[in-house]
């Protein structure tokens, strides 16, 4: 399925500790770094999230309709990560709650305005 997702940032120095903290809560850690780029993952077999300054040198912008979903181990982890995101300066896009049977999620925008969903889904 998904190998990794990359989002743009205009301030990597600000984005890095934001994602170090949030993704660390979910068992993620930096797996790769380069000039203007950092990627996190839960391990070699897990999907990754990259944050980068755009290659073309133009400002990073938010894609309309684009969202990155972060899978949590539990509803409690959804609540913890969502709250920490807001504490770190993220903007609320929908408090955690059950959206449909078995799907619990909270929505926020990161420091650059990128939309994220942290969710837990119980199937069956």
What pLDDT, in 10s, does the model give residues 34-83?
989 999 999 888 899 999 999 899 999 988 889 999 999 999 999 999 99
For the chain, the domains span: 4-53+66-121
Reported CATH class of domain 4-53+66-121: alpha beta
Strands ordered across the beta sheet of 68-71: 68-71, 115-121, 103-109, 91-100
Position 124 confidence tier, pLDDT thresholds 50, 70, 90: low
Contact (CB, 8 A) for 115 and 66: yes
| Model-wide pTM > 0.75 | yes
What pLDDT, in 10s, does the model give residues 74-100?
999 999 999 999 999 999 999 999 999
Cα separation, 1 vs 24, in Å, equals 22
């Amino acid at each position: 399925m998904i190998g990794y997702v990359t989002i743009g940032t205009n301030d990597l120095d600000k984005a890095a500790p934001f994602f170090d903290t949030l993704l660390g809560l979910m068992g993620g850690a930096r797996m790769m770094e380069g000039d203007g780029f950092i990627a996190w993952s839960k391990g070699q077999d897990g999907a990754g999230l990259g944050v980068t300054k755009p290659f073309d040198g133009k400002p990073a912008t938010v894609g309309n309709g684009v969202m990155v979903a972060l899978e949590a181990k539990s509803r409690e982890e959804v609540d913890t990560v969502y709250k920490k995101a807001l504490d770190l300066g993220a903007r609320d896009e929908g408090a955690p709650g059950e959206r449909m049977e078995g799907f619990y999620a909270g929505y926020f925008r990161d420091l650059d305005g990128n939309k994220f969903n942290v969710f837990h889904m119980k199937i069956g």
